Chains A and B, each alone.
Chain A
Amino acid sequence: MCGICGFYGTGGDPAIQGTWNEKGNLAGPGVQAQKHILSSMIDSLGHRGPDGQGMHIQGPIALGHARLAVIDLITGAQPVSNGDGRYWITYNGEIFNYLELREELRAKGHRFRTESDTEVLVHGYEEYGIDFFRRLNGQWAAAIWDARREELLLCRDRVGICPLFYTKVGKKILFASEVKALFRDPEVPRELDLRGLMETFTFWTSVPPQTVFHGISELPPGRWIRFGRESVEEGSYYEFDFPEYSREDVGSGTAKQYAEELREVLREATRLRFTRSDVPVAAYLSGGIDSSVTAGVIQQFTQTELKTFSLRFSDNEFDEGGYQEQMVQRLGTDHEAITVGYRDIGKIFPEVVRHAEKPILRTAPAPMFLLSRLVRDSGYKVVVTGEGSDEMLGGYDIYREAVVRSFIARDPVSSRRGEIIRHLYPWLQRNPTAMPAMARSFFSQSLDDADPALSHRPRWQSASGISRLLGEGARAELSKYDVTEDFVARIPAEAGGWHPLSRAQWLEVKSLLAGYLLSSQGDRMLMANGVEGRFPFLDPNLIDWAAKLPPRYKIMGLDEKFILKHAFRDMLPQEILKRPKQPYRAPDAASFFGTSLEWLDELTSPESLKASGIFNPAAVAHLVAKCRKRSGQGMSNFDNMAVTAVLSTLLLQREFGLS
């Protein structure tokens, strides 16, 4: 994984066009300025690629690269071209099946100068065009320049592991792995986008192409966009979808058969991600099932001791150390852990927001930042992690909620059906007053089985309450949009024939996975310290297999990830196998208000709140006072979310100088 950036002067803009002469070389009075901008863009991505820098400037194109050297340490520098120099590429990511593809391309006459996967990508594009992306098993964001047609193509992996942003200023197209690189061009406006903000306050993330920066777009996962001098063309090479649900499949396979298939497909996905590297690969071990399984499978491919890393919390409510230790003992790994306290999170939070480049509703990314720093300090730069398992194999409470809500929706007046809620969340039984309220708020909303967003509306509605803290101007502007219905309208028409669980999976993958888990909590926190994450559960073969898996093998009754547990029950300790699902969380308000933080006092002063112009100063002051009074302890779920959202938005504004 690396950082990429660049720009394309499509013509007619003196600031750009004047910098290149007829021979295609940089020339003219603006040359130094343009070179300086590209160099500055690359510098801003230095955390993503501390091992080297490269640039290619030709005619109207400037491509930049900050390298994290993982494959082909000697000759893998970028940008690189195909054989005749027609295509140039700057690319971030890994193509795990590059060796097989290279052999195929060699057989077709392609000659390779390096041992890198990058060169395979540019030759494959030369041979097959956009169709080649469908053949890639990997994670990537790439910019490919076609010097003959003078076209710039941007493309991104299927689920959004690697980020890619672009913007247009006059006739200049700029692109980069991170928005901070785009801002190195002074012409790029720095403005908060209220629609993107509202999406974040609803879905926990803006949904690509929307971002929280006005005029800046994020290339959606599975898509490409091609800029010519006078044209823009875009399309998808991949759609995340499901087969039409039919009960004809009942009895056509068994748990035993599917478990065997899963072991095969996950084993191969893990093998590719563990062995295709020229530097040592470590693994995260959270104490949950997913990372325990991936670490366990990795052990099958190595004779040397596997290095594992995990995160612990000084607050027992969040700590999973006991489970981690069990798995370490079972696997016999060389293990290191970092223990994180409230102050650690509060102190690092501004830096976390700077890297996340969007408001965050939870502090959970902050400990991930500290964990990747430990990985880097320990001499590793690649880790295998368990992300994607919950999304593909049915691990989330929101999926179980979806199944339960469908059950209740079939007969809303039934008194018996609602009783299942207490088994969905046994802890509710300890709180007899919260139980009815929770049940009402979470399970009686929009109980229409035909609603394609049945599963997600309660979460969205809860999060969108943050918008009540916005100032009058922002609220007036936002009244023009209905971000929820706009997103629901994107659900494909075929989804009407999917199982309700599949529809919930689609919504989750298209919003939270790409925009938050793989981004704010994933790539951004890993690459902030120059660490690459690899995700066997997001292998395209596993994704396709899981999409066809009958839903009951994902959630069997109320039991989540049934088939994963069934397939790997011999590998995991019983305590891990049978433990109740515990979502990864970190302390929120307590991390800010349980300790003294200089930046917090300054950020929440009446003057700062007024200057921000986004929030209602009185409403925010009230929330902050409430948190302070309790040192951030015992806050409601909503207050924790709201205060984290407000602080991260204010930090983002300050960090990037957003108006």
Chain B
Amino acid sequence: MGAEPEADADALMTEKRKRLNMDEKKITQPIAELREMQRDRGNPERSVLETAMFLEDVFGIRLEDSEMDEAHLGSDADLETLTSLVVQKLGGPEDGDRDVTGSGPGSHIPGEIPGGLRNTPKSEA
């Protein structure tokens, strides 16, 4: 019986890793499609801002002005770098409960509802 909590912990860790892997694929794939579209276009400044807008919209994160530059989002930022940035913004891999739906702890935009939109009062809608 004494070994059971340890086994549970292992199982939990495995589950967390699985979810993390799955979520990273979910993060990487849209970014890869954006990068494919931007490929060979030139205009690095457009790509930086476009990438910022895309990441915020798709993943519900918020980027600082200082992060909207070539180093963070430009052509030098490969898939892994961008995925890591999103993961970090969503709560980081150490937080196994992060959630790309926008409803988890990584949802940084105040006033958002699950799904990432602002909670619009019905009277306004």
A562 to B54, CA, bound (A): 13
- Smallest beta-carbon distance A439→chain B, Å: 14
A559 to B68, CA, bound (A): 19
**Which chain A residues numbered 367 to 409 have a C-beta less than 8 Å away from chain B?**
403-404, 406-407
Residues A250 and B33 in contact, CB atoms below 8 Å apart: no
Is A449 an interface position by the 8 A CB rule? yes
Q: Which of A415, A452, A557, A562 contacts B120 (CB 8 A)?
A: A452
Say yes or no: A493-B101 contact (C-beta < 8 A), given A414-B65, A423-B49: no
Residues B38 and A557 in contact, CB atoms below 8 Å apart: yes
Instruction: Identify the stretch in B1-9, B11-19, B24-32, B74-82 within 8 Å (CB) of chain A at 4 or more residues.
Output: B24-32
Say yes or no: A556-B26 contact (C-beta < 8 A), given A407-B56, A492-B125: no
Say yes or no: A410-B25 contact (C-beta < 8 A), given A404-B53, A556-B37: no
Is A73 an interface position by the 8 A CB rule? no
Chain B residues within 8 Å of A420, by CB: 49-50, 53
Chain B residues within 8 Å of A562, by CB: 37
Chain A residues within 8 Å of B50, by CB: 420, 423, 557-558
Chain B residues within 8 Å of A244, by CB: 115
A250 to B90, CA, bound (A): 14
A251 to B113, CA, bound (A): 20
Q: Which of A247, A494, A552 contacts B60 (CB 8 A)?
A: A247
Is A359 an interface position by the 8 A CB rule? no
Interface string of B86-121 (1 = CB under 8 A from A): 000000000000001110000001010111111111
Chain A residues within 8 Å of B122, by CB: 493, 496
Residues B62 and A496 in contact, CB atoms below 8 Å apart: no
Residues A245 and B43 in contact, CB atoms below 8 Å apart: no
Chain A residues within 8 Å of B101, by CB: 246-248
Chain A residues within 8 Å of B46, by CB: 423, 558
Residues A250 and B118 in contact, CB atoms below 8 Å apart: no
**Which chain A residues numbered 28 to 66 have a C-beta less than 8 Å away from chain B?**
none
Is A482 an interface position by the 8 A CB rule? no
Residues B100 and A250 in contact, CB atoms below 8 Å apart: yes
Inter-chain pairs besides A254-B33, A420-B50, A557-B47, 7 sampled, C-beta below 8 Å: A246-B102, A247-B102, A250-B58, A407-B57, A423-B49, A495-B125, A552-B54
Q: List 25 A-B contacts (CB under 8 A).
A: A245-B116, A246-B102, A246-B116, A247-B59, A248-B101, A251-B27, A251-B100, A410-B56, A411-B65, A416-B65, A417-B65, A419-B45, A419-B49, A450-B121, A494-B125, A496-B119, A496-B125, A497-B113, A552-B54, A552-B57, A556-B33, A556-B34, A557-B51, A558-B50, A559-B37
